[in-house]
Structure 1
Amino acid sequence: MKVKGKVRDFCYQELFPRVGLLFVRLLSRTYRYRLVDREHEQRVLDAHGTVVYASWHQRFFPGITFFATRKPIAIMISQSRDGEMIARVVDILGWRAVRGSSSKGSLRALKELHALTRQGYRVGHIVDGPQGPFGVIKPGLLSIAQFSGAPILPVILSAQRCWVFSSWDRFMVPKPFSKIFVRFAPPIVIPRRLDAHAFEALRQDVEKQIKDLYIQTDNWWRSPEMIRRHFH
Structure 2
Amino acid sequence: MSLRRRIERSETLASVLAWLVGSYLALCNRTTRWHIEGQGDLRTALAQGPVLLVMWHSRSVMGALHWPVADGPLSSLYDASPIGRVSGALQRRVGLQSMQMSRHTSNLAASRIVLKRVREGVSIGMTGDGPLGPAHQVKDAPLEWARVTGVPVFCYAFATTRAKRLNTWDRMLVPRMFGRGAVVFARFEGAILRKPDEATREALREEMRRFMDATTAQADALISR
The 3 A distance-change label for structure 1 pair 211 and 84 is: same
More helix by share: 1
Give unmatched runs, 5+ long, in structure 2.
none
Give unmatched runs, 5+ long, in structure 1.
224-232
2:143 aligns with: 142
Q: TM-score, normalised by structure 2?
A: 0.84
1:54 aligns with: 54
Pairing of 1:1-232 with structure 2 (within 5 A):
9=10, 12-46=13-47, 48-67=48-67, 69=69, 71-100=72-101, 104-188=105-189, 189-223=191-225
User: What amino acid is the match of 1:215?
Assistant: A
The 3 A distance-change label for structure 1 pair 61 and 10 is: closer
Cα distance between partner residues in 1 of 2:163 and 2:7: 36
Q: Compare CA radii of gyration and give the structure with the larger one.
A: 1
Q: Is the 8 A contact 2:63 2:156 kept in 1?
A: no
User: What amino acid is the match of 2:223?
Assistant: W
Identical aligned pairs, as a percentage?
A: 24
Shift of 1:222: 3.1
Shift of 1:10: 5.3
The 3 A distance-change label for structure 1 pair 10 and 152 is: closer
Farther off after superposition, 78-87 or 123-132: 78-87
Cα distance between partner residues in 2 of 1:154 and 1:58: 13
CA RMSD in angstroms comes to 2.7
The 3 A distance-change label for structure 1 pair 172 and 89 is: same
Count residues in correspondence: 220
Q: TM-score, normalised by structure 1?
A: 0.82
Q: Is the 8 A contact 1:100 1:108 kept in 2?
A: no
Residue aligned with 2:15, SS = helix
